[in-house]
Amino acid sequence: MTSLWLDAHDRLAEQSDQLNGQLRSADVVVVGAGITGLATAVLLARAGKEVLVVEARTAGAVTTGNTTGKLSLLQGTTLSQILARHGAGIARDYVRGNQEGQDWLLRYCEAKQVPVQREDDHTYAQSKKEVPRARAVLAACRRAGLEAEWADEADVPFPFHGGVRLPHQAQINTMPLLDSFIRELTERGGRLVEGARVQKLSRHGDRVRLAVRTRGAHSHVDAGHCIVATGMPIFDRGGFFARLKPNRSYCVAFDVPGRITRPMFISAGSPTRSVRYAPFGDGERLVVAGASHVVGRKSPTAELAELRAWTRRHYPGAMETHCWSAQDYTPVDHLPYVGPILPGDEKVFVATGFQKWGLTNGTAAALLLSARILGGQMNWGRALAAWSPHEVSGIPTAIQANLEVGYHLAKGWLTPIVRRAPSGDSGVVTGPPWHLQARCAIDGVEHRVSPVCPHLGGIVNWNEASQAWECPLHGSRFAADGTLLEGPATRGLGAS
């Protein structure tokens, strides 16, 4: 499953500044080379800091290279959820932070000649029953200071029962942006090491030490500060894995004959329908997203088929060219977690919980974290605080989420014995609890691995749509052969 952005990307040469088993040092080490990590690294390098970025795969390989690429402040129903849970003051601060992130990123793209398309964005009702949800978004926008308006009609081929329109938003291809970040980082003396997976963090006096595994050797990195920008934080201290719900959603790109819808749209209810166009080669593609599900708890084959059918129904003649998926994390209180990994820890910081709006939130997090390390602050920072009194409102949701985790932990260990063996391109976990085995067959090649997630012992399930093993507890994902794709696990599945 290759995204439109990664397929069109003529990537920079692999960053070959390997660690080679040595002890390296830096003022700041950033873990993760997505938009949050690289934007933070650039800001700190501009301030004269020696910055090292370590990335387990390649820059943009996880969420940033698989996003829809919407750079919008409207953000579906996010604002109405924040307003209902936290009130107008926090909602305004959230918007101010995202506005600063959006403004900074657009200025950067203009200065570096990164292509941007400026379009209106819409949160719309697919049916009459969704109109109240869309109206609630309009009310939240107005209370939070966004000049949104109601649109009774829109020039679209799909059902539209009114919606919120926010003018002058933006959409981008994320990979040229990351390339520009990498070029500036290296020009300012920073370094990016790809293929370097962080496995452990410890403290040595007032320094942070990371144990890093590369293809060549095990190494260590010492730094004054560490920023963990890995989607789900890979270190369990702080318990963020228990405060985030991992969700996976899918994008399909189509070559559409005739006119493509120009503005951006996302539905206010389910099933989610997110629409944008994208320049590609000498033409354009229609990108449609949806089929969201909690990671590891289902394989959305039917939902993905319906997403495709919906597109072909409303865009006759549409031909699929790309399909991909991305993982995002929903915080229990609907606000991102940006700040110390533990209260009072000014050495290790995290940035997570952007619930599908990482282009603005991730850039806001970069501004917030770089300012904090440099001794400053942002007056809207409380809305993105990793530790704040407003988290109390999320306690019931956290309890429910962790009860679900307990249920899926028990279910995973108790049910494999009754499952059927795989056939075709499929995977299954079988055997008694004392000898579980995960088997899958991909293009005629069978793989057998242990199904036990090395994070907290959950039993993985097979996702037919993305052909990967997924843990239903906290969203770790593994390739068919057990190779780790994304955490919070820090190593792959073992042998069966």
Ordered mean pLDDT values, 10 residues apiece, the chain (496 residues): 87 59 84 97 98 94 94 97 95 97 98 97 97 98 96 97 98 97 96 92 90 84 95 84 90 94 96 96 95 87 95 97 94 92 93 95 97 95 85 59 63 61 65 84 87 89 90 90 88 84
Number of Cβ within 10 Å of residue 157's Cβ equals 12
Please indicate, yes or no, if residue 191 is contained in any of the structural domains.
Answer: no
Query: CB–CB of 355/384 below 8 Å?
Result: no
The pLDDT of residue 422 is 46
Beta bridge mates, 169? 119
Q: Are residues 302 and 406 in the same domain?
A: no
Provide the 10 A C-beta neighbour count for residue 438: 27
* Torsion sign across C-alpha atoms 218, 182, 380, 244: negative
**Based on the domain organization, do 265 and 131 belong to the same domain?**
yes
Residue 256 lies in a domain: yes
pTM score of the predicted model: 0.91
Collapse the DSSP code of 362 into the 3-class scheme (helix H, G, I; strand E, B; otherwise coil) and give the result.
helix
Looking at 274, 297, 331, the residue that finishes a domain is: 331
- One domain for residues 162 and 255: yes
Q: What residue has token string 């409207």? A: 74
308 shares its domain with 423: no
Type of residue at 113 = Q
Query: Of 300, 331, 362, which residue constitutes the final position of a domain?
Result: 331
**Same structural domain for residues 401 and 479?**
yes
165 shares a domain with 312: yes
Q: Which residue has the tokens 């056939």?
A: 423
CA distance 130 to 270: 9
Answer yes or no: is 89 within a domain.
no
Would you list the DSSP string of 257-268?
SSPPP-SEEEES
- Structural domain including 422 reads 397-486
- Of 75, 119, 106, 150, the residue nearest 330 (C-alpha): 75
Tokens coding 456:
């907290």
Output the pLDDT for position 466.
Answer: 87
The pLDDT value given to residue 409? 63
Alpha carbon distance 459, 472 (integer Å)? 7
- 294 within 8 A of 246, measured Cβ to Cβ: yes
- Specify whether the CB–CB gap between 40 and 229 falls below 8 A: yes
Helices (H), 300-393: 301-314, 358-373
In a domain, 284, yes or no: yes
- Determine the residue type at 96: R
Instruction: Name, in order, each residue with C-beta under 8 angstroms of 152's C-beta and a sequence gap of 6 or more.
Output: 162
Q: Is residue 445 part of a domain?
A: yes
In a domain? residue 391: no
CATH number of the domain enclosing 280: 3.30.9.10
Calculate the alpha carbon distances from 232 to 32, 236, 330, 345, 430 in Å. Answer: 11, 10, 10, 19, 29
* Distance between CA atoms of residues 476 and 456, nearest Å: 10
- Indicate which CATH number applies to the domain containing 444: 2.102.10.10
- Are 147 and 275 in a shared domain? yes
What's the rounded Cα separation, in Å, for the pair 355 and 332? 11
Q: What is residue 222's predicted lDDT score, i.e. its pLDDT?
A: 93
Do 327 and 417 share a structural domain?
no
pLDDT the model gives residue 189: 95
Q: Is 372 helix (H, G, I), strand (E, B) or coil?
A: helix
Single residue among 331, 363, 383 that ends a domain in this structure: 331
On whether residue 304 sits in a domain, the answer given is: yes
The answer on 408 and 285 residing in a single domain is no
Nearest to 101 by CA among 443, 415, 341, 380: 380
**Domain membership flag for residue 109:** no
Query: Do 293 and 148 share a structural domain?
Result: yes
Same domain, 275 and 405: no
End-to-end CA distance of the chain: 26
Number of structural domains (the chain) is: 2
- For 256-363, strand residue ranges (E) read 264-267, 274-280, 283-294, 319-331, 337-340, 348-352
Q: How far is CA 2 from CA 7, 11, 38, 61, 273, in A?
A: 6, 14, 22, 10, 20
My answer on whether 160 and 260 are in the same domain is: yes
Measure the CA–CA gap between 406 and 381, rounded to whole angstroms: 33
